[in-house]
Amino acid sequence: IFREGKKSKQKEILTILQKDLQLQTLPSIIECFDNSNIQGTTPVASMVRFVQGKPDKKGYRHFNIKTVEGANDFASMKEIVSRRYHRLVDEAVPLPDLSVVDGGKGQLSSACEALKEVGIYGQTPIIGIAKKLEEIYYPDDPVPLHIDKRSSSLKLIQYMRNEAHRFGITHHRGRR
Question: What is the tens place of the pLDDT at every residue in 120-150?
Answer: 999 999 999 998 889 999 998 989 999 999 9
Distance CA 47, CA 77 (A): 11
Q: Are 47 and 111 in contact (CB under 8 A)?
A: no
What tens digit of pLDDT does each residue of 93-114 get?
Answer: 999 999 999 999 999 999 999 9
pTM: 0.91
CB neighbour class for 25 (10 Å; exposed up to 12, middle 13-18, buried from 19): exposed
E strands, 18-140, in order: 29-38, 41-51, 54-55, 61-64, 98-102, 126-130, 135-138
The confidence band for 42, taking pLDDT boundaries of 50, 70 and 90, is confident
